[in-house]
Amino acid sequence: MQFIDLAAQYKHLQTKIDARIKTVLEHGKYIMGPEVQELEQKLADYVGVKHAITCANGTDALQLAMMVLDIKPGDAVFCPTFTFFATAEVIALAGATPVFVDSDEATFNICPKDLESKIQQTITEGKLKPKAIISVDLFGLPANYPELERITKLFDLKLVEDAAQGFGGSITDNQGNRKKSGSFGDIATTSFFPAKPLGCYGDGGAIFTNNDDYAELVKSYRVHGKGKDKYDNVRIGINSRLDTIQAAILLEKLAEFPQELINRNKSAAKYESELCNKYNTPKVPVGYTSSWAQYTLLDAKRDEIMAEYKAKGIPTMIYYATCMHQQTAFKELGYQEGDFPVAERLAKQVFSLPMHPYLNHIV
């Protein structure tokens, strides 16, 4: 059994994907070819934003967001401590200081109450300038954006949505208005790493925004800070383009994506019905939908349970065993064990079961 069965997905889409790749090989426009522009328009339409700009990977997408927002030394950028390293890494790469925030006990996402407390604490200390928040749609579930947007307005901060795992998730408000992951905050990012809900066959990423100025900056920064052409460099940028073959693959995967989300949610419902009396299973708040990037359980006897699944030939994974404040790279920030009790408990107890759109159920 595969933890994420990409081979089954390819078999299902093989004819369409092969035809797309053949078209690219025939026209030979391997960098920024027509499929890239087609994909960007379809991504923007799917998410419901004005602009979708592709790039080389999800980490670059976050780094580009930091560049667009002019994050620099002396700035404080708040992010969850229970996340993948890239979320905090790009803050440090910009020369700013990541200020870590504990997790919400129910959803595992960034805790708005602790976030507000950390912002107030940073203001009181006066050493750093609060500049932005990076939220993470962990395991496919959107973060609490109604509360996060209230906090950003209260403290005049920018909000970046890290939707690398959350693409396909959504929040519906009390008036019935539905917003999809990728449409929250000032800028949103996603990753097309193969294991993500919408993945290519290599690295890839995208940035989403409704801000015209931000979109133009991203387009410039991703091609060496170009101006009117690639030899007119008006700012210092990076080289971060999605290649045309990956765009072609993603076009066929995006077309199939709505049905794959239905399949993921059916598998999650099956897991819930079979496992809710045995483990602490993930809960989706009212009005929210998850894209189920991972199906993550919580149990103090994690190692024993994972060993039992392994004996049955069922793979499991841990996301994430080490919080950001525990990483060697951030040791100088001075955090101590016990500073983030919820996140630290999650790191010791979470484990994930196989989850993908072609899952033959295991429970």
Q: Per residue in 166-198, pLDDT tens? A: 999 999 998 999 999 999 999 999 999 999 999
Q: Per residue in 187-246, pLDDT tens? A: 999 999 999 999 999 999 999 999 999 999 999 999 999 998 888 999 999 999 999 999
For residue 115, the enclosing domain spans 6-99+109-253
Residue 297 sits in the same domain as residue 220: no
* pLDDT above 90: percentage of residues in the chain: 97
Residue 227 sits in the same domain as residue 315: no
- Average pLDDT over the chain, rounded to whole? 97
Is 72 a domain residue? yes
- In Å, how far are 52, 287, 292 from 5, measured between CA atoms? 28, 29, 14
Residue 248 sits in the same domain as residue 149: yes
- Domain at 188, CATH number: 3.40.640.10
Cβ(142)–Cβ(164) below 8 Å = no
Q: Per residue in 89-141, pLDDT tens? A: 999 999 999 999 999 999 999 999 999 999 999 999 999 999 999 999 999 99
Q: Per residue in 269-283, pLDDT tens? A: 999 999 999 999 999
Position 361 confidence tier, pLDDT thresholds 50, 70, 90? low
Is 360 a domain residue? no
* 363 pLDDT higher than 90: no
CA distance 209 to 51: 5
Collapsed DSSP state (helix, strand, coil) of residue 216: helix
* 362 pLDDT higher than 70: no
Residue 157 sits in the same domain as residue 238: yes
Position 312 confidence tier, pLDDT thresholds 50, 70, 90? very high
pTM for this model (two decimals)? 0.96
Q: Per residue in 24-40, pLDDT tens? A: 999 999 999 999 999 99
Q: Cα 349 to chain center, whole Å?
A: 22
Is 304 a domain residue? yes
Residues 6 or more apart whose CB falls under 8 angstroms from that of 291 comprise: 140, 165, 166, 167, 168, 169, 181, 197, 261, 264
